[in-house]
Amino acid sequence: MTTRTTTGVSHYHVQKTRRAKFIEDWRANHRDVVAAEDVVMHKTERGHRVGVYVGEDGDRPTRTMDALAHEFDPGTTTTIHRHSWDAMVLVVAGWGWTEIDGERIDWGPGDSLHIPAWAWHRSGNEGTDVARYLTFSSEPMLATMGMNVLEDAGHTPVAELPGRPAFSTHLDGDDPYARRIRRVGREQTNRRAGRLHTNWDDLELVNTPRGTRTTFLLDRAIGYQASGITMAMFEIGPGRGQSMHRHPGEAWLYVLEGEGHTYLGTEPEGGTTHRWKKGDIIVVDHFLWHQHFNDHPENTAKVVRIHMFDSLLETMRALCDPLVLFEEPPNAIRDKQAGDPTTIEWPTLERPTWP
């Protein structure tokens, strides 16, 4: 028996309509700034509260990363779970701990952690105040490939749970399959040996040509082995601004301290400005020129930048070559926009507070 499958119209019309609908929905849901007060916290079966800054589960669709807020009441221990994507954690309030494959990591405000793919993990709060952290994960990117898997094991001890998926490390031979076995084995071995925690007290900020001082929080440059999400923090001097630049992909900026505004535009002039404050997330998308300003005359502003640099952006650079996907003004204009960061009296680095 022969079965015929047809849509009734040509693939041209089906794909054209589908693509147009996707872009229409995407633009309708796009936000330039997600305010902290717009993130509604919901009680979960894991034993804590979760709110969505950006992500499908909060009606703010995204394609490569999501951003969630998590709160832990005193005495909380969440259920243990794992997933096929990895996640970055930024602690913004309180003191607590996260257990990753049985290894407990104690954290406080300003600390950051990497939760690798397929690692069992749970978090807890043994203190007297509510603890809060943000997570930035690659789940949306894996969802586009049908590889987003989530497993919750309740309060089962980690020793009774299966480990991460097994992999082969070696196969003799010089054929393509043997080479792949060894290559993938090396990659997984390196990933599973990556760094998991950055303590705020160990941070050292360095001046940059963009007029700010900055430091990595999570990046392969300091020993992390993530899927491509990188996280860095930069500090803007009182009344100063970061120089203008643009790049593709989704880049988000969480305001850790301070208040200011951001310019967004398809051209260096004629765009729009968007005000932000502590706890907000600035969404930079669509290959827009952007520039961030600290509006406070006395205090600095601290902003944490998150994007999929090592995977998405590098892949786009290769696919779009010879197009230039990262741009900034000529050095003379850049330096004029940014100013000299050595003239700023930078304050002593202190752990952030919430709210």
Consecutive 10-residue averages of pLDDT for the chain (355 residues)? 67 86 80 94 97 90 90 98 97 98 98 98 96 96 93 97 96 97 96 96 95 96 93 97 87 96 94 97 90 97 90 80 87 89 94 90
Query: Distance between terminal CA atoms of the chain?
Result: 67
DSSP code at position 286? T
Residues 125 and 243 in one domain: no
Q: Are strands 206-207 and 213-218 parallel, antiparallel or unpaired?
A: antiparallel
| Phi, psi of 160, deg, nearest 5 | -95, 0
355 preceded by a cis bond (ω within 30 of 0): yes
- Residue pair 219/136 in contact (Cβ under 8 Å)? The answer is no
User: What's the pLDDT score for residue 1?
Assistant: 59
> Residues near 191 by Cβ (< 8 Å), separated by ≥ 6?
116, 225
Of the three residues 149, 165, 181, the one that is the final residue of a domain is 165
Integer Cα distance of 172 and 210 in angstroms: 50
In a shared domain, residues 37 and 143? yes
Tell me if 177 is assigned to some domain.
no
Whether 67 is covered by a domain: the verdict is yes
7 backbone dihedrals φ, ψ, rounded to 5°: -95, -10
- What is residue 143's predicted lDDT score, i.e. its pLDDT? 93
Give the pLDDT of residue 2.
65
In this prediction, residue 112 carries a pLDDT of: 98
Cα 353 from Cα 28, distance rounded (Å): 34
Whether 334 and 224 share a structural domain: yes
Whether residue 209 is found in the same domain as residue 327: yes
Q: Is residue 283 part of a domain?
A: yes
Structure confidence at residue 211 (pLDDT):
93
Picking from 165, 183, 211, the residue at the C-terminal end of a domain is 165
**Same domain? 212 vs 286:** yes
Domain membership of residue 77 as a residue range: 29-165
**Token reading at 77:** 């221990």
Same domain, 130 and 261: no
What is the model's pLDDT at position 124? 98
Q: How many domains does the chain have?
A: 2
Q: Tell me the DSSP string of 267-321.
A: SSSS-EEEEEETT-EEEE-TT-EEEEEE--SSS-EEEEEEEEIIIIIHHHHHHHT
Task: Assess whether 147 and 64 both reside in one domain.
Answer: yes
Claim to verify: residue 98 and residue 224 sit in the same structural domain: no
Hey, CA dihedral for 200, 259, 307, 122, is it positive or negative? positive
Is residue 18, in this structure, part of any structural domain at all?
Answer: no
Q: Residue 268 falls within a domain, yes or no?
A: yes
CATH code, domain with 100: 2.60.120.10
* Same domain membership, residue 141 and residue 42: yes
Residue 22's Cα: distance from chain center in Å? Answer: 23
Return the CA Rg of the chain.
Answer: 22
Using the 8-state DSSP alphabet, how is residue 240 labeled? -
* Domain assignment present for 312: yes
Half-sphere exposure of 145 (CA within 13 A, CB side): 10
- Domain shared by 100 and 218, yes or no: no
Say if 154 falls within a structural domain.
Answer: yes
User: Is the Cβ–Cβ distance between 71 and 131 less than 8 Å?
Assistant: yes
* CA-based nearest residue to 280, from 33, 15, 8: 33
d(CA 2, CA 4): 7
**Same domain, yes or no: 71 and 126:** yes
Q: What is the residue whose two structure tokens read 């082969």?
A: 168
- The C-alpha atoms of residue 348 and residue 333 are separated, in whole angstroms, by 30
Return the pLDDT at 349.
Answer: 94
- d(Cα 275, Cα 294) in Å, to the nearest integer? 10
Q: Tell how far CA 61 is from the center of its chain.
A: 15
Same domain, 152 and 203: no
**8 A C-beta contact, residue 355 and residue 278:** yes
Q: Is residue 214 one of the residues assigned to a domain? A: yes
